[in-house]
Amino acid sequence: MREFAATLKLPGERGPGLSVSVFLDDDTIAIRTGSVDLGTWPRTQVLLRAEDDGIHLRAEGEEVILHTDDDALFAVELGLRHGPPLLRRRMAELWRERDHDALVSPPPS
For residue range 39-93, list pLDDT tens digits in order.
999 999 999 999 989 999 999 999 999 999 889 999 999 988 888 888 889 999 9
Inside any domain, residue 67 = yes
- Higher pLDDT: 34 or 1? It is 34
> 3-state DSSP helix/strand/coil percent for the chain, to nearest 5?
30, 40, 30
Find out whether 64 and 9 touch, Cβ atoms under 8 Å.
yes
Indicate which CATH number applies to the domain containing 86.
Answer: 2.30.29.30
- What is the per-residue pLDDT for 105? 57
- Number of domains, the chain: 1
Burial 13-48 (b: 16+ CB within 10 A, else e): eeeebeebebbbeeeebbbeeeeeeeeeeeeeeeeb
Put residue 22 in one of left, alpha, beta given phi > 0 → left and psi -120 to 50 → alpha: beta
- Residue 109 in any domain: the answer is no
In a domain, 93, yes or no: yes
pLDDT over 90 at 107, yes or no:
no
Q: Is residue 23 part of a domain?
A: yes
pLDDT band at residue 108 using 50, 70 and 90 as cut-offs: low
Among 29, 20, 35, which Cα is nearest to 69's? 20
Q: pTM above the 0.95 mark?
A: no
Q: Which range of residues forms the domain containing residue 32?
A: 2-104
Assess if residue 43 is contained within a domain.
yes
Domain annotation covers residue 45: yes
